[in-house]
Structure 1
Amino acid sequence: MKLIKQSLLTLLLVVLTAVSALADNPDAVLGVWKNGEGTGMIQIYKSGDKYFGRIVWLKVMNNPDGTPRTDVNNPTESARTKPLRGLVNMRDFKYVGENKWEGGQIYDPKNGSDYSCEMTLTDPNTLEVRGYIGVSLFGRTDVWKRQVKK
């Protein structure tokens, strides 16, 4: 009986710790996140009262000739020679409470398009990133996993 009580107390402490980690913390999203495909990592950082993301790692960092991969699909011709590593591809997110960041834009270097975007932290190490056109109903959600603690 004593062992059961200790186990229940330990479980309660773990649950309370997880819940407190998800408490209203605008900076909880800061850190490095791996996208759902596992092909890239994005560092989310804060500038002023807004949140941004930049590509810090790619599964395929270089072209077959050894040169760094660049933003070849960018609609702006002069930007096509910029390396993908270091590219700011998430902009202008604002924390709106309840572990949600909205009002941002996400750039997809695979097709050179910008999308409206919102993020939701579902647990301390899981981030749902939803890109959409127009309204959130018409979009796609990718689940990212935290790689490096902030």
Structure 2
Amino acid sequence: MKRKTMLMWSLLLVSGVSANAFAADGAVGRWKTIDDKTGQVKSIVEISEASNGSLTGKVVEILKSDKGPNPVCDSCSGDRKNKPIKGMTILWNLKPDGANEWAGGTILDPANGKTYKSKMELQPGGRKLDVSGCVAFICRAQTWVRE
């Protein structure tokens, strides 16, 4: 009985440490993007910290696309026009804006090629990230799930 109790406490301790480790890492890591209209997982975005301390996010995997397995950003302009979405930076210049919050950045929607003012908030436990993009008063939000 004592062995089972020790095992149970060990598992609880490890699971608690894991949840706290996610929160301590902030938004850095790999995230499943969940389409806010369909609820389907669309891609994996890897968020990293840039040399200036801001956050940036790059599409590292396409899981679901209406444009085939290797879609390009045909609606994008400039340097991104007709470039593969996989490997593309779609989130940049997000700066800390409080505990587990980032703001002042930009997010690109590769489906329509438009960019939006962006902010993010890491939910308690570190497993979910609320990401939003806004133009004027019109906003769109998604909850991404840590991979």
Q: Into which bin does the TM-score normalised by the smaller protein fall?
A: 0.7 to 0.9
Hey, what does 1:47 align to over in structure 2?
50
**2-structure distance, mates of 1:114, 1:13:** 42
- 1:76-106: CA deviation from partner (whole Å, max 9, x where unpaired): 3x63231110000001011122210111100
Hey, what does 2:38 align to over in structure 1?
none
70, 75, 84: which is aligned to 1:73? 75
Q: From the superposition, tell whether residues 13 and 53 of structure 1 become closer, same or farther in structure 2 (CA, over 3 Å).
A: same
Identity of aligned residues (%): 27
CA RMSD across the alignment? 3.0
- 1:25-74: CA deviation from partner (whole Å, max 9, x where unpaired): 4x41111101113011100011121100000111247955x7x3211111
Hey, what does 1:116 align to over in structure 2?
117
**2-structure distance, mates of 1:56, 1:90:** 13
TM-score, length basis structure 1: 0.74
Q: Does 1:100 align with 2:104?
A: no
Hey, what does 1:36 align to over in structure 2?
34
Q: From the superposition, tell whether residues 118 and 41 of structure 1 become closer, same or farther in structure 2 (CA, over 3 Å).
A: same
Asked whether the equivalents of residues 22 and 99 of structure 1 are also in contact (C-alpha less than 8 Å), the reply is no
Q: From the superposition, tell whether residues 19 and 146 of structure 1 become closer, same or farther in structure 2 (CA, over 3 Å).
A: closer
Asked whether the equivalents of residues 42 and 65 of structure 2 are also in contact (C-alpha less than 8 Å), the reply is no
- Number of aligned residues: 136
